[in-house]
Amino acid sequence: MTTILKNRLFWPALILAVMLGVNAFTSNQFIAIQDGHLFGTLIDILRGSAPLILVALGMTLVIATGGIDLSVGSVMAISGAVACLLISDLDNQNSLGGVLIAIGAAILVSLAAGLWNGTLVAVVGIQPIIATLILMVAGRGLAQLFTEGQIINVQSGPYSTLASGFFLALPVALLIAAAAVALTVLLTRRTALGLLLESVGGSPTASRLAGISARRITVMVYVVAGAFAGLAGLIASADIKSADSISAGNLIELDAILAVVIGGTALIGGRFSIAGTVLGAIIIQTLKVTVVAVDIPAEANLLFKSVVVVALCLSQSPDFRAKVFGRFTSRPAAEKVGIPA
């Protein structure tokens, strides 16, 4: 029991469970089967959290090396813009081949964006927060340039499957995110890669002296973060069947960083938890849905969210828990000590 209580992820998981409980109560259909697939609030939450899971996953790896990637939201916008532009030029928007080419092109552009970030950080040696700030600002501009500032609509069945489709009764978007998580876990926990990442995050210089190619690893994590952000951008744009380069992925970098922090990854690098990040991302999405489900007035949304986040972060601090819960249990003892004094 105490080992469960001491687990870093126990408290976030508890808060998630409470919020899901509230949703189960307010929702007519928390989980059900409709048209041969799963349906309901729980599925909406999981499907809706797919882009954030992907972005936060990339962010976890970047933060593990002691960096940060502010450009993920802009990369999402670029990737959605590229895909929708290519698809809208197709003669037949429902042709699978054409859509796959568009998706491939969008991922390639996202990889290039990641490579740009990685090169600036690891080769040129610019501070990560500044290096990725460049693409954060310029990237959204690029996306708007591609789309000429307009919202590009697509009516493509295969493309919208990315976000709204179902496979084996489960949402495709969730499966994509799950596959990305599984792949990352496999590569970082079943090979030495995870150790190398943590080592670079701990001290790049010491890692290099120990024979680890710190530079190559750093470039790699930014490329991976770019690819995951690109994938998230595709899901987000397929979800609304259009590329909105102004609002796509806007401020998602902050949600992603929050998810990473809730998950227990240290912002200074060195230690990371993929399970924690996924949990964090799902909590953030659940919070968004809960705000609407329990009728928090629009003006109080942000306040409600911040109260939950503060409670979440405090609950993860052992010192804080000791102070709050310790007081209830140890008060009689304290009084006893108090009388003779």
Partner 1 sequence: MRRTLSVAVFGGLLAVSALAGCGDSDGGAEGGGGDDGQIVLGFSQVGAESGWRTANTESIKASATAAGIKLQFSDAQGKQENQISDIRGFITQKVDVIAFSPVVTSGWDAVLKEAKDAGIPVILTDRAVDSQDTSLYQSFIGSDFKVEGTKAGEWLVKEYEGKTGDVNIVELQGTTGSAPAIDRQTGFADAIKANPNLKIVKSQTGDFKRADGKTVMETFLQSVPKIDVLYAHNDDMGLGAIEAIKAAGKKPGQDIKIITVDAVKDGMTALAAGEINFIVECSPLLGDQLMETVKAVKDGKPVEKRILTKEGTFTQEEAKAALPTRKY
Task: Summarize as ranges the residues that interact with partner 1 (CB under 8 A).
Answer: 26-29, 34-35, 39-41, 44, 48, 149-151, 153, 164, 236, 239-242, 244, 246-248, 288-289, 291-293, 295, 298-299, 301
- What is the smallest separation between the CB atom of 23 and partner 1, expressed in angstroms? 8
- 171 vs 280 by CB, closer to partner 1: 171
- 221 vs 238 by CB, closer to partner 1: 238
Token pair belonging to 9: 């992820």
Spatial separation of the C-alpha atoms in residues 31 and 23, rounded to whole Å: 11
- What is the smallest separation between the CB atom of 290 and partner 1, expressed in angstroms? 9
- 142 vs 212 by CB, closer to partner 1: 142
Region of residue 125 (phi > 0: left; psi between -120 and 50: alpha; otherwise: beta): left
CA 32 vs CA 29, 119, 176: distances in Å: 6, 47, 22
- What is the smallest separation between the CB atom of 276 and partner 1, expressed in angstroms? 24
- What is the smallest separation between the CB atom of 1 and partner 1, expressed in angstroms? 35
Secondary element (H or E) of residue 243: strand 242-243
- What is the smallest separation between the CB atom of 298 and partner 1, expressed in angstroms? 4
Please state, as a whole number, how many other Cβ atoms lie within 10 Å of the Cβ of residue 69.
32
Q: Is 336 exposed, middle or buried (0-12, 13-18, 19+ CB in 10 A)?
A: exposed
- What is the smallest separation between the CB atom of 29 and partner 1, expressed in angstroms? 6
CA 132 vs CA 119, 159, 205, 334: distances in Å: 11, 29, 22, 52
- 2 vs 28 by CB, closer to partner 1: 28
- What is the smallest separation between the CB atom of 282 and partner 1, expressed in angstroms? 14
Is 227:111 a contact under the CB 8 Å cutoff? yes
Token pair belonging to 251: 């401020």
- 26 vs 203 by CB, closer to partner 1: 26
Nearby residues of 81 by Cβ (< 8 Å), 6 or more positions away: 143, 146, 147, 152, 237, 243, 245, 248
- 152 vs 260 by CB, closer to partner 1: 152
- 31 vs 275 by CB, closer to partner 1: 31
Is 11:312 a contact under the CB 8 Å cutoff? yes
Closest by Cα among 181, 227, 221 to 79: 227
- What is the smallest separation between the CB atom of 263 and partner 1, expressed in angstroms? 22
- 148 vs 319 by CB, closer to partner 1: 148
For 25-156, strand residue ranges (E) read 32-34, 37-39, 152-153
Spatial separation of the C-alpha atoms in residues 310 and 328, rounded to whole Å: 21
- What is the smallest separation between the CB atom of 82 and partner 1, expressed in angstroms? 18
Cα 334 → chain centroid: 45
Is 283:50 a contact under the CB 8 Å cutoff? no
- 27 vs 119 by CB, closer to partner 1: 27
